[in-house]
Each structure stands twice: as C-alpha cells, then as structure tokens.
Structure 1
Amino acid sequence: MGGLTHLIVFVSMFVSITLISEAQYRLPIMIYEPSKQYYTSISLRSPNMYSVTFLLDLGTNLTWLDCRELESLSSLRFITCQSSTCKSIPGSGCDRKSCLYLQPNPLGKRVTGRVVQGAATFSTKDGGRQLVSLPRFTFSCANQLLPLPVSGVLSLSPAGEFSFWRQVTTAFNVAPKFALCLPSSIFGIGHFYVGGVNSYNIPPFNASNPLPMTLTPLKNIDSGKYIISPTSIYVAGIPLSLKPSLLDGGAKISTVVPYTLLQTDIYNALASAFTRKATKMGMSKVPGTAPFKTCFDEGGSGRNIEEFMNVPVIEIGLPGRAGEVKWRFHGANTVVRVSETVICLAFVDGGKKPIEPMVIGTHQFQDYMIEFDLSTSRMAISDSLLSHKTSCFNTI
C-alpha cells in the first residue's frame, strides 16, 4: 500500500505541475480606428492555412466566423446534435443532424451558425518564436457579414468550455488565464497572451523586473461576464458623493464598448467634479460633441493629454487583499481629443436604468496590462504603461 500511496502522490504532483505550466501563447492585437474596437488574427486550415481576423469579445461564449470568408469548408468537421460536444454547449440546438448555436452579436443582430471543428494556428514565444496548432478548435460557422477588417468574433467569456482562451489552456495544459494589452495607436500592435507566466516582457519590465500589478476579485464569473466591484470613484483624490447602491451592480469590463458607460447619476457626479477641477486648472467648458457631453477648450496653454498632470486624475476604488486599491486613469485614458484645442471627458452617460451601472470601455484600459486569472477568479491591473515611458506595443 505504501508503494501505491507514493505512486498516487507522484502522479498528483505531476498533474499539478502540468496544469501550472508557464508556457505562454501570444497573438497580435490591432485597433480598428473607426469603431475603436480590437481584433486579432488566427490561421485556419481551409484546406490551406488561411488568415482570419476576429473581433475580441469578453462577452461571447463561442467563437463564430462568417465561413464565406474561407476558401473551402472541406477541412472542417461538422458537429452532430448527438455528440458530447454539442450537448456540452449551453444553448445549442439542432437542424436535422447539425449542431446549431445562437448567440448575441456585439456588432448587430443575433447569429445562428453550425458548430464545427477545425485546426487553428497561432504563434508562441515559449522556447522561441514558433507556430502552434490547436487541432480541434470548436467554433460556430455562420453566414453573417461583418464590417471590415473583421471576419468573426473571438470568444473570451469566462463561462463554459469553449471560449478561445479555455480551449487553448485546456489543450496545452497551461494555467487558465489570459491577458490583454490594447494599443492606443493604429501604428502599433498590442498583444493577447494566453497561458500562465508571472511576468510580461514589456521593456523595461521582464522576469527580473516585473510589471507592477494590482489584484481585485472578479464577481460572479458564471454569468459569462467579467465584473469587478467598485467601492468608490475619485476625481483628483476626492471621492464622489454617491449613493452606495449605485455601485452595487459592479462594473463590467468590455472589449467592444469604446468609452466607459456610466449610469446617469454616476456620470453626472463624475462630470461635475471633473468640470470643477478642470476649470480651476484654466480650461473653459464648451458644448459637448457626441457622444461626449462634457468638453473643454484648452485655450493657448499648449496642454498635451499624454502628459499626466494636465487633466484631473480619475480613480476607481476596488477591493484588494488588504483594503481598497485604486485603478488610476491619467490624461490619455481620461479624455479624448476631438479638435486641435478641444478635449472631452472620455466617459459616456449610459442612461438611468442600464443593466450594469458601469461598463469599462477600451479607451480606459489602452496601454494597461489587464490579466484575467480564472484559477483564482481575480483580475490584475498594471500601472499605466505610459507612466513608465512605455506602451502596449513596446513588447518583445
């Protein structure tokens, strides 16, 4: 029995080590400037390797693609209704023998497609740059035209077995987490990391000089959303006077909403506090420019929003390991330039009764490293990379 016990312990240790492999898989992230949304590129066999662009969506449960983009469907395996794969996809349905999936489309009406499997290829820097293949990538093959340059939507939801990051981490036995570093410019390429490492190579940061990260819990990930729990909001270090119940619904993180949406009462409190501080700094309020309601003329002072002290700092208080921690938004993430001299508060009034009181959009976390660790149900937020004289597209 002693030998059997030792064998069980050894096998358990081996499995544990395998599951926390520090292999890292890295895909590019590009910004589509007209919509302020982000996409990546994956190669599918069709029957030759064919590069396809996918919109990144934290809220989609199953990746889908307009399969008319492919050269041929001959290399795809169509999933049947009676298969274990189809039965394990929540919300799946049937059309004769084919497994179907209906899901929301962040760019328009809901999409129905046949569930298929095919080989997906992308790059990794584990042991040097090389291509790796996911031989049984499960996705939905729909007939739905999307605006260029996007051909489909990449699922990054925390729910279920078939989001892209989950399929990769399961197939390669790596830690169930991923990270996004969104570039702020069309001239740079950001990065989408899948798998477990303790550091990211963003000069000057590396394994011996790790990027500072702040941890906060993720709330109710079974909902299929990434939600954090704001405890307060600050402008220039001063907390807003808000009814605590306004923040009870939490804040959803979104990669398809370009600017943070706030419930009307939260927005009004933020805009008022920001305006008071901005006018004291010498800015003049001017009429809004849709979708922004709070705008300012910088005058002749030659301010530059990339310089962090030129506009009031906005902070979101969040629960941390030892009390409240803060997610700080500086100039480049706080305002947006709409003309040579006019800047606007880059937060949008989301209405009186939204589903979530806050939806944090991509403008607010450009040039931050945001990591979602599903093994611990926590999100890690870096300092603004711009504050360290680097950015999301300054990676190696």
Structure 2
Amino acid sequence: MDLHLQLLVCFFLLTIKSIATQTTHFHTPLLLLPVTKDFKTLQYTTQLLIGTPQIPTDLVLHLSGQSLWINCAPSSSSRHLITHGSLSCLMAKSVAQTTIPATICHIHQQNPITGATNSGDLAEDIVTFHGIGSVATVDNFLFSCSPDYLLKGLANGAKGMLGLGRSKIAFQSQLVNNLDIPRKFTVCLSESDGFIISGTGISNSLSYTPLVSSMTHGGGLDQYYVNVNSIKISGRRLVLHDGGQPIGGVQISSIVPYTTMKSTIYGIFTKAYIKSAISMNMTMVAPVAPFGVCFVSQRLVPEIELVLQSELVKWRIQGRNSMVQVSDSVMCLGFLDGGLDVSDSVVLGGYQLEDHILEFNLGTGMMGFSSSLLMEGNSCSKIRALVSRPKDSL
C-alpha cells in the first residue's frame, strides 16, 4: 500500500471512530453518497430517500445543475408546495408567473441530455442521506416536480437529476444550510463505484486552480469552469485558439460522456495527437463511432496536458483517461468533435474525470484535483470501499 493511500486510510479510520456513536440528524462533515455509472447512457447516478414513506429515488448526477428535480408522481404525505412570493421561492429564482393571482412557486427545470425544459412546481419534503456510521435527514429539502417527458434520455430507473451547481437551492447549498457543514464537496467518478463526500476534502495531495465564471463563453454562473491557458501533447504546446481568442473557460461536466471540442479546436488537437502517436509507432485504424481517431491497442500513448494558470499547474490526461478500449485490439481517442455551433469551446467530460479526486471549495472559489489515481495503483472504488467499511470491521 503506497504512502498516499496509507495516510488516506488513517484519516478515515480516525474520522469514522469519532462519529460512530452518532445517530439520525447528526450534523456529520463526512456525508457520502455512492455514485454508480450506467453503461448504456454513460451517466452517473446516485440515490436519495425522499418523502413519507421514504422512497429510494435514483437521480442522475449533474455537476452544473441548479437544483434537484424529480418526477413527483408517487404520493408523499409530508410533501408541501411552496407559495409564490415566499422566501424559499425568491431564493430559488422562480420564473415569471402566468396565473393571476400567483399561488404556487414555479422554477426553471432542464434536462441537459435532451435539451428539454419545463417550469416545475417548487416543493419541499423529507430527504434522508446515509453517512459514515450515521444517517442525516433534512425535513424541508427543496426540489421541483417534473412531468414524465422530462425524464426522457435519463438512465433507466432514474426519476430526476441531482444538481450540484452553485445556486442557493442546489444539493450542496442545501446541505450547507441545513447540516451546518463547510461549503465544499468532493467528487470521485468511476466506471464502477464512485462517490460524493460533502463538507470536507479527502486528500492533501491536490493541485488547485480557481473556479472561473464563463458567462462570456455562454456558460451560466451555476456551472463550474476552470481557465485553460494552453494544451500540450507529449510536452509540445499546441497553437490553439478559438476565433482569435484564448480558449479560456473549460467546463467540468458529469453529463457529457467524453470531452467535446469545437470543430476548429478539435481539428488542430487531433492532427497534433496523430503526429505524436505515429512517432510512438502507433498504428491508426478506421474510426469507430462516435470517435474520430482510433489505433491498434498498445500500452504507451501520448500524454495530454491542460496547462491552467501557470506551467506549474497542469491537468494530465493519461492512458485510461485518454483512450477508450472499443474492442480487444482497438482503442480510440476519447475526445469528440462538438461541431461549430457550441457555446463552450471545450467541455471536459466524465470519462476524463474518472478516478480523479475533484474537490470543489465554494468558500474559496477553488477546485482541487488529483493526478490519476490509477497511475498510483489506486482508484475511486478502492477509496469508497475503505470509507464505507463497517466500523466493526475496522
């Protein structure tokens, strides 16, 4: 076991022992939600217990989502609709009311996978979260009720989306307000067993970069962007720009399966990657949809670096996070052509995020990120197994 993993285990053992005697409604700073990957849709899902009776509800994880929205078809005796003009309604940035006089608060809902939008009723209900050795409950959790058609395109069984954006009624914001935890959360996506931990970081071995607003790139304030100064392939910097301007804000997305690039950028990027790959004696083969560049499988591939605020802060995309194994003998570059009519020049997708620790500190406006855990012989699955181990087995 490497030193980094040993320190991580020690941290969790001490934390678990300190909260093992706590029960329902305990304000724990270590609240873990398991995250699984749906291989048909390539979406990441988690589960909450909602309403009375408590109904297990599968939700698609949306890093930039501004709220939790669900299909409210199952009845709940503890659900209450929020009135227009109330403090909760104002906090949720309600949409303009069409009825006179207005009664129920309506807020904007969007399924980013299909692009469908709707104005949903704002409601509150009991929501329960399972933590480490404890269970936490929020009695007045805010969410919006969606119609059936808004569920189209979601993973099988999912009843809505869990938004982790920076709005006042996003999932993390409500935990901060109701459970008195720090304004940070950690995400570790995985093809098997990932997780979200609220209220704390889990590693001291992270690089940090500011979270930036990308309104000029068409993004919203609720979304997470980091500034990318340049991109390197095998150490060589690309002459890369979008319409004469630097790339700038790159969105971090759990909804987009693979990193997408505007066509003009994708062309330059893939040309440079192919050149570097050929210099490493990689053999190109016919592309396999949806990918545009494929090779005969081999272990060593060009390294991609996103240079952030300085040459000292780089996000390295290596091996498993750059290449997708599509058959026993063929692997494809996991970056897609997003077309010309896109609001963001580059969107960093879920596949490139997998098995990296991502710490979103909303208090400082910084994002911490690890190198690939796989390169260290570690993974999100291994960390989740350690965190979730019953206290009696420790």
TM-score by length of 1: 0.83
Give 1:238's aligned amino acid.
Answer: R
User: 1:121 aligned to 2:109?
Assistant: no
The residue number in structure 1 matching 2:43 is 37
Q: Which structure dedicates a bigger proportion of its chain to strand?
A: 1
User: 1:192 aligned to 2:215?
Assistant: no
* Distance 1:67-1:53 versus aligned 2 partners, 3 A rule: same
Give the SS at the match of 1:223. coil
| Superimposed CA distance per residue, residues 90-109 of structure 1 (whole angstroms, 9 cap, x where no aligned partner) | 14344541111222212321
Unaligned 5+ runs, structure 2:
1-26, 215-219, 387-394
Equivalent runs, 1:220-299 vs 2, <5 Å: 220=213, 223-243=221-241, 245-298=244-297
User: 1:216 aligned to 2:223?
Assistant: no
- For the Cα contact (< 8 Å) 2:28–2:131, is it kept in 1? no
Distance 2:227 2:288 in 1: 30
- For the Cα contact (< 8 Å) 1:295–1:344, is it kept in 2? yes
Distance 1:87 1:250 in 2: 29
Give 1:83's aligned amino acid.
Answer: S
User: 1:388 aligned to 2:376?
Assistant: yes
* Alpha-carbon offset, residue 384 of structure 1: 0.6
Distance 1:369 1:257 in 2: 18
Give 2:172's aligned amino acid.
Answer: W
* Alpha-carbon offset, residue 274 of structure 1: 1.3
The residue number in structure 1 matching 2:164 is 156
- For the Cα contact (< 8 Å) 1:114–1:141, is it kept in 2? yes
Q: 1:372 aligns with which of 357, 360, 364?
A: 360
| Superimposed CA distance per residue, residues 73-128 of structure 1 (whole angstroms, 9 cap, x where no aligned partner) | 32201111131111222143445411112222123211332110001101222xxx
The residue number in structure 1 matching 2:90 is 87
| Superimposed CA distance per residue, residues 181-225 of structure 1 (whole angstroms, 9 cap, x where no aligned partner) | 0012xxx3211011124xx2xxxxxxxxx4510100011287211
The residue number in structure 1 matching 2:119 is 112
Give 2:47's aligned amino acid.
Answer: S
RMSD: 1.8
Equivalent runs, 1:302-341 vs 2, <5 Å: 303-304=298-299, 310-319=300-309, 324-341=312-329
Distance 2:145 2:71 in 1: 6
The residue number in structure 2 matching 1:181 is 188
- For the Cα contact (< 8 Å) 2:91–2:169, is it kept in 1? no
The residue number in structure 1 matching 2:179 is 172
Distance 2:241 2:88 in 1: 46
Unaligned 5+ runs, structure 1:
1-20, 201-209, 305-309
Distance 2:373 2:213 in 1: 29
The residue number in structure 2 matching 1:356 is 344
The residue number in structure 1 matching 2:31 is 25
The residue number in structure 2 matching 1:63 is 68
Distance 1:37 1:189 in 2: 13
Give the SS at the match of 1:98. coil
* Distance 1:289-1:174 versus aligned 2 partners, 3 A rule: same
The residue number in structure 2 matching 1:76 is 79
Give the SS at the match of 1:122. strand
Q: 2:106 aligns with which of 96, 100, 107?
A: 100
Distance 2:90 2:222 in 1: 18
Distance 1:107 1:263 in 2: 18
Identity of aligned residues (%): 30
Distance 1:134 1:246 in 2: 46
Distance 2:304 2:272 in 1: 10
* Alpha-carbon offset, residue 277 of structure 1: 1.8
Give the SS at the match of 1:169. helix
* Alpha-carbon offset, residue 377 of structure 1: 0.6
Give 1:122's aligned amino acid.
Answer: F
- For the Cα contact (< 8 Å) 2:69–2:109, is it kept in 1? no
* Alpha-carbon offset, residue 35 of structure 1: 1.3
* Distance 1:22-1:52 versus aligned 2 partners, 3 A rule: closer
* Alpha-carbon offset, residue 349 of structure 1: 1.0
Distance 1:246 1:343 in 2: 33
The residue number in structure 2 matching 1:3 is none
